[in-house]
Amino acid sequence: MNILVTGGLGYLGSHAVVELIKQKYKVFVIDNLSNSHIQNLSYLEKITGQKIEFLNADIRDKKKLDKIFKDNDISGIMHFAGLKSVKKSDSERGEYYDVNVNGTKNLIDVLNNTKKEKKYFIFSSSACVYGKPNYLPYDENHNVEPENFYGETKLEAEILLKNTYLTHEDWKIIVLRYFNPIGAHHSFLIGDSPRGKPENLMPNILSAVYPEKNKLKIFGSNHDTFDGTPVRDFIHVEDLIKGHVLALNFLRKSTKHVYEVFNLGTGEGFSVLQLIKSFEEVNGVKVSFEFSKKRKGDLPIYFSSAKKITKMLGWKPKLNLKDMCKSSWEFYKNKK
């Protein structure tokens, strides 16, 4: 079966390309390289041992999308392309809406216009659609009330997909709400390597490993948690991507049209300080850090219930916090 991976040269999408090829899917990749590097293409070819079909295209360019679907027999989309900075989503609302919402709508329209009997769609959503927790762990029935514009765009894309399901018998859709993916592929060739200054925690830890001159800024020391630093549900990127392929295989097996939402988190929370400590221990290094003021909008604590995805898809995380820290560091050293 032919699958289009949008954002397939980015952090999560590149891992999906590897796993889909391993599972014998025929993969087409599009990416506009706004937050990734073209070298990832050769790393993907090295890991998979095959040529990757890649097109530098923007998901907002409907003409190009039409052509890709006309030229290739694509039945499904794994949709990773998107803008993910919570901070920038506020100051660049137009761009975030255009990419995350209109871009998703284009992809739905283009797949819908094909004559494919069944249409498959897996969407990268985020735990931030839930907003402030009424209870923890968040399960998929928790009400959704995003606290930031990035979360609003993800929720709006989810609604577009739900409406597509409600009005079309031939669509099979899974929305995956990610918690905090970290770690890198075991080849250490691909990992989280954004353009510009990273905002997420792990890339900032990596660039603060002694003797690097940078210091990690820990945003707040007096959050309402056991050690004062925020608690997150870190999930290894390889486990996260296995969840996608299980989701796709589930859709292919089901006889009815489907719309399901699953959390993708381990169900276990660790604090920022615990992550740093584990990173230092497993890699035998020191991370320089200092406390700074709280980051606007950061929740003190959230983690996932993974019950639904375990029950329905048989997904279970296999890699632990140490594996996440080890692979992140090996990838970083390899890239330098």
Beta carbon of residue 154, minimum distance to ligand UD1 (angstroms, whole number)? 8
Cα four-point dihedral sign 179, 204, 86, 58: negative
Site size for ligand UD1, by CB under 6 A?
A: 21
Binding flag, residue 230, ligand UD1 (CB under 6 A): yes
Q: Name the 3-class secondary structure at 86.
A: helix
Select from ligand NAD, ligand UD1, none the partner in contact with residue 225, using the beta carbon and a kind-dependent cut-off of 5 to 8 Å.
none
Binding partner of residue 12 among ligand UD1, ligand NAD, none, CB under 5 to 8 Å per kind? Answer: ligand NAD
Of positions 101, 201, 241, 306, contacts ligand UD1 by CB under 6 A:
201
Residues 81-140 that bind ligand UD1 (CB under 6 A): 84, 86, 126-128
Calpha distance 200→292 (Å, rounded) = 15
State the chain's maximal CA–CA distance in angstroms.
58
- Exposed (0-12), middle (13-18) or buried (19+): which is 161, by Cβ within 10 Å? buried
**Residue 217 contact among ligand UD1, ligand NAD, none, beta carbon within 5 to 8 Å by kind:** ligand UD1
Q: Are 38 and 60 in contact (CB under 8 A)?
A: no
Residue of minimal Cβ distance to ligand NAD = 10
Residue 259 within binding range of ligand UD1, rule CB under 6 A = no
Could you tell me which stretch among 98-106, 197-205, 244-252, 327-335 binds ligand UD1 (CB under 6 A)? 197-205
3-state helix, strand, coil in the chain (%, to 5): 40, 20, 40
Structure tokens at 300: 């003190």
Residues 6+ apart with CB under 8 A from 175: 123, 125, 158, 161, 259, 260, 261, 262
Cβ pair 43, 189 in contact under 8 A: yes
- Select from ligand UD1, ligand NAD, none the partner in contact with residue 99, using the beta carbon and a kind-dependent cut-off of 5 to 8 Å: ligand NAD
Q: Identify whether 150 is a catalytic site residue.
A: yes
Nearer to ligand NAD, 119 or 177 (CB): 177
Residue 124: CB minimum distance to ligand NAD, A? 3
Check 150, 178, 302, 332 and give the catalytic one: 150
Q: Which of 26, 118, 162, 217 binds ligand UD1 (CB under 6 A)?
A: 217
Q: How far apart are CA 32 and CA 28, in angstroms?
A: 14
Tokens of 29: 């990749």
Binding site for ligand NAD (CB under 6 A): 6-7, 9-13, 30-36, 58-60, 80-84, 99, 103, 124, 126, 178, 180-181, 194, 200
Identity of the residue, 219 or 259, whose beta carbon is nearer to ligand UD1 in the bound complex: 219
**Where in the sequence numbering do the catalytic residues fall?**
150
